[in-house]
Structure 1
Amino acid sequence: MTGRTAFRVSLLLAIILLITTFIKLPYYVTQPGMASELKPIIKVEEGFDKEEGSFSLTTIRFGRANPLTYLWAKLNEYHYIHPLEEIKREEETDEDYLNRQLHMMEVSQESAITVAYQKAKKEITTTYNGVYVDGIIDGMPAANRLEVGDRIYKVNKKELETAEEFIEYVSAKKEGDNIVISFERDGRQMEESIKLAVFKDQPNKVGLGISLVTDREVEVHPEITLNTHEIGGPSAGLMLSLEIYNQLIEEDITKGYKIAGTGTINSEGIVGPIGGISQKIVTADKEGIEIFFAPNEENNPNSDYKEALSTGKEINTKMKIVPIDTFSDAVNYLMKLEEKG
């Protein structure tokens, strides 16, 4: 093959590879991401600045698959391929998905602040403003009537505080009942009268076909600033609460260790499971994390903790993987931990 021919072949292959990157397949690819320290993005005014170790959140990288990334995922361990419906809800646009992730992060952040300030016995006031729509089921009454991001503040003129309150109210109704939803969209006050219907997969349950998160405002003293604009989803909840708490108290509960973990958290301090914990274990191990907190789900045999342990053995990690059910479990573990020598 002459030099000119080889050049042409190489150029053709390069063009083909470039073109394949623009071909979108009906899959997403996820892979281990990175561990990010939380101290630089969380600031408690007049808080204690004494960390010898660190608290970090762990992330997963993901993106829409093209032929190259799909093949790469097939060839690499801990790179997973997911059908679109596993990542995005049916009929959910990219904008809807982003809004849902941001809303989940806001709720997680508020819960983390609440738990940490209550544990540290600091001043906290919570104001409830209704509920956000964070998902809509296609074919149900709310489709084409409500949108992801709408803030519902009344149902049948009754003011709402929490998502649980809305669900309890609607659950007492019957199929065919009309309810009037008062909501806010893009700063505009709106109203819709919507007829309740039976869920296809739950014939004994009626509703609008929406999923909800509580909209609340948390005011605290001392004040706190969180720069979490680029973080989506709820999985950083546990680690956010630990970093906030550590800045509120005199003692450094990191004890000099590099600590990471994952798990949702609610305002009662209960830690919930997340997705992709195996990839987060791989990430934490590569980043030199020494202690990793994993949701235990009350000793569920299929818990995130069990999966984390299995992955830890597979990669022969020296990292200590700790089962956690509540925020207090994590704090108590750290309080008993010996200072790193």
Structure 2
Amino acid sequence: MKKRAYMITFLLGVVVSFLFIFVQLPYYVTMPGTAQKLEPLVHVENGDKDQGTLMLTTVRMGRANVASYLLAHIRSYYELYPMKDIKQEGETDEEYTIRQLHLMEESKEAAIVVAYKNAHKPLSYRPHGVYVMGVVPGMPAERILQVGDRIVGIDGKKVETAEQLIQYVRQKRKGERVAITWIRGEKEKTSFLTLASFPQSPKQVGLGISPMTDYNIVTNPPVRIDSEKIGGPSAGLMFSLEIYNQLVPEDITKGHKIAGTGTINMKGEVGPIGGISQKVVAANEAGADIFFAPNEKGAKNSNYREALKTAKKIGTTMKIVPVDTFADALRYLQKLK
């Protein structure tokens, strides 16, 4: 009898363990990631070696199981998000990953342009196509295009930027056909699509894609960024600072450990990101002295204000610095002792 009871208990334990670990819930769970040194990732030819450290910060994320779901309700800085808040409607895991990697590419391109311009180094960049970053379910593009495809033409005309594509389509009406020339892998194809109204905006017609301009950048000296499998655009500001620091003779870190986050565009403007509190925790655990946070022009619920609250809550001595532009961050570093 005892043997049977032990066996039943064991089997119940196995079932419960399986449910806790392997059954995925319709949520994503995020938690503090790491603060990673940028110098090993950014390679400017003959770039200066500096005493201080610039670091990008990350957030760990994965599909929630029962165990992580419960942990998110009791652990500080563990957050739960419904799937619809993370992935676009109808987006597969593979498409989500591709979209995040392309966002990282866009971020790196902007960081290179901003750094070289501010360092007054030779630079040229030109657009050469439009990446598909998302496809709207039920729209014409759904049956033809995929995330990661690059559109290079429409109706026989060359397409170089997302703005060009959008402006051209805006002149069309619902039911009109357009010929889209696109590249997947190394194969170029042309497909005909009939424009349709967007489900949530019936007065607007389109293909049903989220476009992003792809740039070809040439620099002197050459630069390479090994972002490995880091996705998303949030490392843009810190990439630009590391590239700049390798381009100029002075060490803008002044020997400090500097972390931060924020998107960046070609104009050097810094934008907000998700998971700011978790990134503050990661930077503090890595021993950072300074943390740059997007200021969002002083908005009440800005990344900067949230970062300040988190820094106070965890009792860190790390200095939280608000920035709206690359120039803001650079001015702060130039005044450091």
TM tier, smaller: over 0.9
Q: Which residue of 1 aligns with 2:152?
A: 153
The aligned counterpart of 1:257 is 256
Cross-structure match for 2:224: 225
Matches of 2:334 and 2:298, distance apart in 1 = 22
* Matches for 1:97-246 after TM superposition, within 5 Å: 97-246=96-245
* Gapped regions of structure 1 (runs ≥ 5): none
Counterpart of 2:54 in structure 1 is: 55
1:328 matched to which residue of 2?
Answer: 327
**Residue in structure 1 matched with residue 66 of structure 2 by the alignment:** 67
Mean Cα displacement is larger for which, 38-47 or 7-16?
A: 7-16
The two structures have a TM-score, normalised by structure 1, of 0.93
Cα 1:154–1:307 shift into 2, 3 Å? same
Distance 2:251 2:257 in 1: 12
Shift of 1:56: 0.3
CA distance in 2, matches of 1:159, 1:75: 54
C-alpha deviations, 1:153-207, integer Å up to 9, x for none? 1112221221122112222322222221111112111112212222222233221
Question: Secondary structure at the residue paired with 1:244?
Answer: helix
Find the aligned partners of 2:231 and 2:106 in 1 and give their Cα distance: 11
Which amino acid is 1:36 matched to?
Q
Shift of 1:127: 3.1
Deviates more, 1:174-183 or 1:274-283: 174-183
CA distance in 2, matches of 1:224, 1:3: 67
Q: Give the SS at the match of 2:287.
A: coil
Q: Which runs of 5+ in 2 are unaligned?
A: none
The alignment's TM-score, normalised by the length of structure 2, stands at 0.95
Distance 1:71 1:19 in 2: 13
- CA offset digits 1:185-244 (Å, max 9, x no partner): 121111122122222222332211100111111111111122112211111110000000
- Which amino acid is 2:21 matched to? T
Moved more, 316-325 or 166-175: 166-175
**What residue in structure 2 maps to residue 46 of structure 1?**
46
Q: In structure 2, how many angstroms separate the alpha carbons of the residues matched to 1:104 and 1:208?
A: 21
How far apart are 1:10 and its partner, in Å?
6.2
Which residue in the other structure is 1:280 paired with? Answer: 279
Deviates more, 1:185-194 or 1:12-21: 12-21
The amino acid that maps onto 2:131 is Y
Range that drifts further, 71-80 or 4-13:
4-13
String of CA shifts for 1:251-300, please: whole Å, max 9, x gaps.
10001111111111111111111111111111112221111111112222
After the TM superposition, which segments of 4 or more aligned residues of structure 1 sit over 6 Å from their partners? Answer: 2-8
CA distance in 1, matches of 2:250, 2:4: 70
Specify the SS of the correspondent of 1:52.
Answer: coil
| Amino acid corresponding to residue 197 of structure 1 in structure 2 | A
CA distance in 1, matches of 2:75, 2:328: 35
